[in-house]
Structure 1
C-alpha cells in the first residue's frame, strides 16, 4: 500500500514521530488550508485477536482517507489548499499510543481528527445503526496505579508481634475502597486485583501489592476520585504500620469530548445515504458505557469525532465472539458505509468555512 501511494503523489512516513509501529500518509493540495486527520488503530488483544474491531477501525480510516483525497482532487482541483492525513496510531488498548503521538506533535497543526469504532448490537435494538456522539454516558477518563505495601517479614508462628504484615495492608485497602464505592457517583468506576500477596503461608509477607484502575466522566472528576482512592491506600498503610509506594501509569486516558457540529453533519450524511443513524441514544445509558480510549486525549487537543457503529456479533467487545464478527463480510460492508459518511464530513470541513467555524466554536466552548 505504501509503495503504490508514494507513486501517486502521497507522502509516506514509516515509523512516524519516533514510534516504530506508527505511520503517517499525507496528501496536500496548494498551500495553507485546514488539516484533517483520520486515526487508524490496529492493535489486537493478547490471545483473543481483534476482539475490539481495530482491524475494522484501520479499514474505515484507510477507506475514508482515500475517499476524501480522491474526492477533493476530483471536485476541488483548483479549490482551496488542504491537507489530509492517515495516522497509524498503535497501542490504544493499553499503551496510550495517541498520547505519545500528541507529545511528539502529531496533532499540532490539525484542525479536526475523525475515526470510527465498531460495537455489538444494542439491547432490544438490532437495526444497523451508527451513534455519532458515541456510547451513552460517554467514554471515561481513566488512570492506573500499582501500589506496594512494605512491612517486616517473620515466621508466621514465631514472634509475629515483632513484624508487620504487608498483606494486612492490602486487605485493609481493598475494604476501604469497597466501602468508598457507596459514596461515589455511578459514573465512577474502581476495579483492582492483588498482584502479590506474599510468598508462602508460613511467612508473614514483607511486601504485597495491588493494581487498581479508576474511571470517571471527566479529567476533573477523575482527579477527585484519585485523591479519595489515594487516601484509602494511605489509611491502610497507617493502620498496619506499613510503608506504601504508589506508581501511577505513565499514560492517563482523558474523557472524550463530543463535537456536536461534526456529529450532526455525520448523521445527515448517513441518513442521506439511506442508513439508520442517530446523534445519541440516551435510553441505552448504563447498558453501553464505561469504556475508555486515548482518542479522548486527542479530543482535548483538537475537535474530535469517534462515532460508534453496530456490526452483527453474538458477544460484546473484548470477547471471542466479537473477534469472529469483526472478520465477517457484513462487518466490512458496514465499515465501508460509515467510512463514506466520515469522508463526506471531512470534505465539508476542508471546503466549508462556515461549518469549520461552527466546529471551532463548539470546541472552544468546551
Structure 2
C-alpha cells in the first residue's frame, strides 16, 4: 500500500472519529431486533447523505437495508454493515461497532479513490437481521450480490479469550471461521381438555415439546464434539388445568460444514417427530434461512494482517479452530471472495458475545477505538483489491479453490 494512500485512509478515519462515535452511540443506545432496525437505518443513511453520498434506502425489498456507492470503473468491493441487536440484551454482539467500522471503511476508501484518482468502486450495503433472521441470505436471493464483486468485507468485535488460546498477544484476527447452522421453529398442535376432569380427551402439545427437548438432549451424547444443537420453548401453554393445545420451539442445529449440518438436521428431526408420534400431536416446521459456514480467504486475510501490522496492530492470520457460532456472512463467503475479520474489545474476564456485559463493553470508548483501527485495515484491504491485480486475482483463486 503506497504511503500516501495509507495516510489518506488513516487521516480520513481519525478526523471522522467524533462523528462516527456519535453514530456508534446512537445505534448502541437504540437496540433494534431483526428487520426492525428503523432507527439505525434512518440514522446511518442520513449520516451518509449529509456527507454527500447518494443513498438508496429500503433496498432489495427489505425496509431496513440500504446501499451507497462511490467511484467508477474497475473492480467493486462491498462493505457489509450490520446493526441489529438481540432481544432483551441489546447490542450484546456489538453490531453497533460493526456498523461503525463498516461506515468508517466506506468513508476512507471513497476518500482515497477521490484523492488519488483510483479506478474502482466501493459500496456499503446495509445488511439487517444477522441475529437469526438471515438478512444476507435474503439479500443474496434478491440480487444484492449479483454484480461481479472482487471482495466483500466486514469485521466483528470479540473478547480476546473467544478466539485466542493466549489472550493479550493479538489485537485481532483475520481469518474468522464460523460454522454452518440450520435455524427453524417447530409447532406442536394437540387438543385441549380439562386437565383434571377429562385429561383422556386431550392431546398434550406441551408433552410433545418436553419430549422433543429430552430426545435432543439424549442425541447430544452421540454428536461430534464440534457440533451443537440448542432450543427453547417459546410458547408453552396457558394455565395448568387446561391440556396444552399449542407449543412452539425455536432451534439451532450447527456443524462445521453444510454437508455435516444437513446430516445432523435429519437426526434432530427424527427426535422431534418421534415426540409428535408419541404424544399424538401434529408437527409443523417454520424454516429460516440456513447459515453456511464462514470461509476465510487466505489472500484477503494475509493482506489485512500485513496492513494492520504496518500501523502497529497485531493480527493473527488464521484461527486455530472453528468457533462454534454462525453468521449469514458465511453465505456471502460461498458466492464471492470474502473477508470477515475480528477485532478485540476490552471485556471483563469470561465475558463474551451474547452476554449483557458484552453489550456494555460494546458501548465504551475503547471499543470504538478498536472498531476504527479495524476499519483502517479493512479500508487498506479494499484499496489493495482495487489497485493490485495480483491481490485481486489471488483472492479469486483462493475463493475458487476453497472446497469447504
Q: TM-score, normalised by structure 1?
A: 0.88
Q: How does 1:280-319 map to 2 (within 5 A)?
A: 280-282=318-320, 285=321, 289-314=323-348, 315-319=351-355
Q: Counterparts of 1:156 and 1:278 in 2: how far apart (Å)? A: 59
Q: Which residue of 1 aligns with 2:150?
A: 111
Per the alignment, do residues 344 and 195 of structure 1 end up closer, same or farther by CA in structure 2, a change over 3 Å counting? closer
Residues 170 and 91 (structure 1 numbering): CA distance in 2 closer, same or farther, change over 3 Å? closer
Counterpart Cα distance in 2 of 1:258 and 1:193: 31
SS at match of 2:121: strand
Shift of 1:28: 1.7
Tell me by how many angstroms 1:183 deviates. Answer: 1.2
| 2:263 is equivalent to residue 220 of structure 1 | no
Match of 1:99 among 121, 137, 160: 137
Listed one character per residue, the Cα deviations across residues 169-215 of structure 1 (whole Å, up to 9, x for unaligned) are 32322222111111111221111122344443333333333222211
Root-mean-square deviation (CA, aligned residues, Å) is 2.1
Write the distance in 2 (CA, Å) between the matches of 1:161 and 1:252: 40
**Counterpart check, 1:14 vs 2:53:** no
Q: 1:209–1:104: structure 2 CA closer, same or farther, 3 Å change rule? A: closer
Q: Distance in 1 between matches of 2:90 and 2:243?
A: 41
Specify the alignment match of 1:278 in structure 2. 316
User: Secondary structure in 2 aligned to 1:36?
Assistant: strand
Quote the residue 1:64 is aligned against: 105
Q: CA deviation at 1:219?
A: 1.8
Q: Deviations over 1:232-279 (max 9, x none)?
A: 122222233332222222x22221111111001111111122211111
Cα distance in 2 between the residues matched to 1:69 and 1:294: 26
Q: Describe the SS at the equivalent of 1:239.
A: helix
Aligned pair count reads 350
Residue 245 (structure 2) aligns with: 206
Q: Is the 8 A contact 2:132 2:183 kept in 1?
A: no
Equivalence for 2:195: 156
State whether residues 293 and 330 of structure 2, in contact with CA within 8 Å, keep that contact through their aligned partners in structure 1: yes
Tell me if structure 2 keeps the 8 A contact 1:128–1:311.
no
Query: What is the correspondence of 1:109-148 to structure 2 with a 5 Å cutoff?
Result: 109=147, 110-122=149-161, 124-134=166-176, 138-148=177-187
SS at match of 2:56: strand
The alpha carbon displacement at 1:124 in A equals 4.4
The secondary structure found in structure 2 opposite 1:204 is: coil
- Distance in 2, Cα, partners of 1:242 & 1:347: 57
Change (3 A) 1:170 1:354: same
* 162-171 or 19-28, larger mean C-alpha shift: 162-171
How far apart in 2 are the matches of 1:65 and 1:196? 42
Cα 1:335–1:194, aligned 2, differ >3 Å: closer, same or farther?
closer
What is the correspondence of 1:35-74 to structure 2 with a 5 Å cutoff?
35-74=76-115
> What is aligned with 1:180?
219
- Matched residue SS, 1:318: coil
Q: Is the 8 A contact 1:35 1:84 kept in 2?
A: yes
Would you say 1:190 and 2:236 are equivalent positions?
no
- Post-superposition offset of 1:364: 1.0
Cα deviations by residue, 1:323-343 (Å, 9 ceiling, x for unpaired): 222222222222222211111
Q: Is the 8 A contact 1:113 1:303 kept in 2?
A: yes
Structure 2: any 5+ residue segments left out of the alignment?
Answer: 1-46
Query: Residue in 1 aligned with 2:375?
Result: 339
Cα separation, partners in 2 of 1:238 and 1:117, compared to 1, 3 Å: same
Aligned to 1:23: 66
**Which 5+ residue runs of structure 1 have no aligned equivalent?**
none
In the alignment, is the contact (CA less than 8 A) between 2:90 and 2:359 conserved in 1?
yes
CA distance in 2, matches of 1:39, 1:179: 39
8 Å CA contact retained: 2:71, 2:121: yes
Pick one of 365, 372, 379 that aligns with 1:329: 365
